[in-house]
């Protein structure tokens, strides 16, 4: 270390030693080169359940008519609907058999 003058107190010497240490660890300690792992194709788990049923496709419907009193955003539309129809179902939770176990309304 630094040669200590007999007139320098131990607290000052401790402060000097602290200031001499690097403030941040070198960047290589933070960098992990996992690029090769990212390129590897992960094999699906054989125990994972397989999808059932037919594949669905998006259908294009009729264009919506222009209505002047529509809210400016989805959030505003939900707010308006919730205040005018507070008992209307908003979300329904189903059990594994497809039976409704809980229905959340806009008022809740």
Q: What is the pLDDT of residues 54-87, one digit of tens each?
A: 888 878 878 767 677 878 888 888 888 888 888 9
Per-residue model confidence (pLDDT) at position 28: 67
The three state secondary structure string of 70-103 is CCCCHHHHHHHHHHHCCCCEEEEEECCCCCEEEE
């Amino acid at each position: 270390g630094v040669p200590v003058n007999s007139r320098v107190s131990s607290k000052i010497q401790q402060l000097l030693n602290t200031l001499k240490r690097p403030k941040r660890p070198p960047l290589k300690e933070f960098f992990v080169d996992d690029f090769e792992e990212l390129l590897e194709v992960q094999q699906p788990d054989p125990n994972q359940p397989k999808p059932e049923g037919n594949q669905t496709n998006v259908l294009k419907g009729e264009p919506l008519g222009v209505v002047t009193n529509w809210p400016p955003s989805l959030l505003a539309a939900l707010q308006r609907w919730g205040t005018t129809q507070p008992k209307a179902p908003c979300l329904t939770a189903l059990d594994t058999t497809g039976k409704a176990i809980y229905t959340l309304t806009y008022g809740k």
